[in-house]
Amino acid sequence: MDLTGPYDPTVDYPEGPAIAEIAGAGDIKPWRPLHVSRRNFLRGVVCSGIVIGGSSYLFSTATPARADARGVERMMSLTVNGRTHHVDVAPNETLGYTVRYRLGLTGTKIGCNQAECGACTVMADGQTIYSCSTLTHRMRGKDIITVEGIAAADGTLHPVQQAFIDELAPQCGFCTPGQVVAGVALLNSNPNPTEEEARVAMSGNLCRCGAYEHYLRGVMKAAREI
């Protein structure tokens, strides 16, 4: 290994005595600082970056402490599927996040997260809403039904759920929880919808597999059975 020639980036130079100490080096000026190899210097930079960045990530809280007592109280009661939960909810938290990650009701899916796809549809006081784009604090006092609250307590499926199975509506199934909730909400308010009414009521739920006709047939089938 030639330590006296021009710097070669492909060579992993050893740490070691300064060039001046190497026998025969003469008065050649060393091209690197003493005892700091390029590799170790980079290691140091990377590690210190991780330590600084990581500590600010790990040791900060997700939301700063409430500065103003007039703001919303983080602890709130949330009635989901007939059960009242006491949960700690951040001011910027959406209902979809709360039911999935604080209450563990992961049936509700978050698809687009911008009030477009409908996978996150839940009922609040009987009306369908996009839970991904609703602040949980707005749901105080509301009766929320997620897809987990649709089937009977003994596991018997709701006619809409059974009809979706019979009509082979779900393909990938990601939109199905939202479709179920939208279908049930429709039949709760209008037990005998026309096909056009059903189409409008289900129009806020996208299905990337394109099984719209299957879902529509499912809702109409359930309507006949109820």
Partner 1 sequence: MSDVMHNFELYQPDTVQGAADLLGEFDDAWVIAGAKDSLGWFKDRVKQPSVVVDIGGIEELSGIAATDDGGLYIGATTTLTDVIENPLVREKYPILALSASKVASPQIRNAGTIGGNISQDTRCVYYRSGFPCYRAEGNTCYANTPTAMNRDHALFEVSRCVAVTPSDTAPAMVALGASMVIRRKGEDIEVPASEYFIGPEIDITRMTVLEHGDILLGIRLPGTWANARHYFEKAADRNTWDFALVSITMVAKMAGSAIEDAAMVCGGVQCTPRRLTEVEDVIRGEVPGPEVETLVRRVASRGAQPLNFNHFKIPLMESLAARAVRSLT
Separation of alpha carbons 212 and 171, rounded Å: 11
Stretch that binds partner 1, among 2-10, 35-43, 85-93, 150-158 (CB under 8 A): 85-93
Separation of alpha carbons 188 and 184, rounded Å: 6
Whose tokens are 């509301």? That residue is: 142
CA angle 79, 87, 114 (to 5 degrees): 75
The H-or-E segment that residue 75 falls in is strand 75-80
Q: Is 76 in the site for partner 1 (CB under 8 A)?
A: no
Mapping DSSP to helix (H, G, I), strand (E, B) and coil, where does residue 167 land? coil
Whose tokens are 């009922």? That residue is: 123
Q: Is 97 in the site for partner 1 (CB under 8 A)?
A: yes
Stretch that binds partner 1, among 1-9, 13-21, 110-118, 166-174 (CB under 8 A): 110-118
Nearer to partner 1 by Cβ, of 137 and 217: the residue is 137
- Residue 222 Cβ vs partner 1, minimum distance, rounded to whole Å: 17
- Residue 169 Cβ vs partner 1, minimum distance, rounded to whole Å: 18
CA distances, 211 to each of 21, 122, 164, 173 (Å): 78, 20, 11, 10
Q: Is 109 in the site for partner 1 (CB under 8 A)?
A: no
Among 4, 40, 48, 63, contact with partner 1 (rule: CB under 8 A): 63
Among 16, 71, 82, 191, contact with partner 1 (rule: CB under 8 A): 71
CA angle 60, 66, 70 (to 5 degrees): 165
Q: Is 133 in the site for partner 1 (CB under 8 A)?
A: yes
**Which residues contribute to the site for partner 1 (CB under 8 A)?**
62-64, 66-68, 70-72, 90-94, 96-97, 110, 113-116, 118, 121, 127-130, 132-135, 137-138, 182, 200-201, 203-204
